[in-house]
Amino acid sequence: MSTPQQLPFTQAQDDAIYQAIRGEEERQSEGLELIPSENYVSAAVREAGGSVFTNKYSEGYPGKRYYGGQQFTDQIEQIAIDRACELFDCKYANVQPLSGAPMNVAAYFAMLEPGDTVLGMDLSHGGHLTHGHPVTHIAKIFNFIRYKMADPDTGAIDYDHLREMALEHKPKLILAGFSAYSRELDYKKFVDIAKEVGALTMMDAAHIAGLIAGKAAKNPFDYGFDIMTTTTHKSLRGPRGGMILVREDEELAKKVNKAVFPGLQGGPHMHLVAAKAIAFNEALRPEFKDYAEQVIKNAKAMAEVFRSHNIRMIGGGTDNHLILADVYGSLGVTGQEAEDVLDEVAMTLNKNMIADDPRKPMDPSGIRFGTPAITTRGFKEEECRQVAEWMVETLKNKDDKTVCERIREDIRSLCQKFPIPDQFFE
């Protein structure tokens, strides 16, 4: 970090943990964070996340708690709710979900009965585990039908086929959203299909919530979506956690609240609710729009470099913050090999399955990377093109220690020019 966090009590009490924290600070400071679901939070968000609210149990909701001593927890939660609704132009928000997966599970239980059918994107084509992958417990409760891209090279979704699937399976819920999809969705078509079959619509915006909040990406609520779920980290640049937003249906909002508590969770993490409120306030500032727009510009700049080297990208490029590249098909390097060698030169990303990947999940054909974190550091298109060139050069010379050592030093020098900020606005 640009200013190392002061940890005198940790240092005195538990040296092993203290050294690990200091090591992580150095790793983040001297390397490039390219995992698209990661970002840096402000010092204010970190302070709130470590505040005395970690001591407080607060089951229930503002004005309706099961324990006493809630005057300040009620304040911070209501502030967080109000700011979330303003950010995403909706009437209701539940800011208590502890993370992304339980957030989605709670949303399902608010809208569905066991055995109901959900139509969602296949994990191998960019969806998420919680969108009905057979390995998850939730897939044993609800009937998930999964759609795919019609053409992985363009990212096109065949909405006519999606409609046919909806007419055939009569889903109670049509689910949009993704964890590794780089194109803009046609939200109106989702809503039109849902209306035709009497289904609800839900957008899992965990990855692009910051882009939506910053007006750089379309807001699904503008097209009639019923529910939007999102984590509060990633592109939204807040603490780890989740929230569920409801466009306008009060009864649905009440069901969401009951599904979160007492249906799924006990005491909310009020220190993180406080941190969420701070992050939402940061995202409401006009400068956040500049940030969100730059995230996309930077991703497109990196895609240009990969295209110039004839490296196949699933979707053919990007409309958002991430790129999914077929490095095995293009360079003969597996996703695991790419992740390892790039990690050695301090570029952190993740291996990832590509559409209809012939390889295994733990050593797939692709890598997934993105620009939220490096944009927070102040990178613009020029720096992002350079980073992409280093990525390609490293992958093409993965066994050449001289090349890799030079790139590692170049990255260290670049990071010194762009320290991780403690605050994003004056």
Strand 149-151 and strand 156-157: the pairing is: antiparallel
Determine the pLDDT at residue 2.
62
- The active-site residue, picked from 30, 47, 56, 57, is 57
Both 126 and 260 in a single domain?
yes
Task: Give yes or no for a contact between 146 and 122, defined as CB atoms under 8 angstroms apart.
Answer: yes
Opening angle at CA 35, ends 207 and 345, nearest 5 = 170
Both 74 and 100 in a single domain?
yes
Return d(Cα 12, Cα 105) in angstroms, integer: 41
Q: What dihedral angle (degrees, nearest 10) is formed by the CA atoms of 196, 212, 216, 33?
A: -130
Q: Which residues contact 412 (CB under 8 A, 6 or more apart)?
A: 30, 346
Determine the pLDDT at residue 1.
54
- The active-site residue, picked from 234, 247, 276, 398, is 234
Residues of the chain with pLDDT under 70: 1-2
Determine the pLDDT at residue 73.
98
Query: Does residue 67 carry a catalytic annotation?
Result: no
- The active-site residue, picked from 188, 240, 289, 297, is 240
Whether residue 323 is contained in a domain is answered as yes
Query: Does residue 234 carry a catalytic annotation?
Result: yes
Whether residue 16 is contained in a domain is answered as no
Whether residue 4 is contained in a domain is answered as no
Whether residue 238 is contained in a domain is answered as yes
Both 351 and 256 in a single domain?
no
Both 230 and 322 in a single domain?
no
- The active-site residue, picked from 122, 204, 319, 339, is 204
Determine the pLDDT at residue 131.
87
Return d(Cα 120, Cα 132) in angstroms, integer: 7
Q: Which residues contact 193 (CB under 8 A, 6 or more apart)?
A: 159, 162, 163, 166, 174, 199
Taking alpha carbons only, the member of 333, 314, 311 closest to residue 323 is 314
Both 363 and 391 in a single domain?
yes
Q: How many domains does the chain have?
A: 2
Determine the pLDDT at residue 389.
98
206: containing domain: 48-283
For the stretch 234-251, what's the b/e string if a residue is b when 16 or more beta carbons lie within 10 angstroms of its beta carbon? bbbbbbbbbbbbbbeeee
Query: Does residue 204 carry a catalytic annotation?
Result: yes
* Position 71, amino acid: Q
Query: Does residue 147 carry a catalytic annotation?
Result: no
Return d(Cα 256, Cα 249) in angstroms, integer: 11
Report pTM. 0.95
CATH number at residue 62: 3.40.640.10
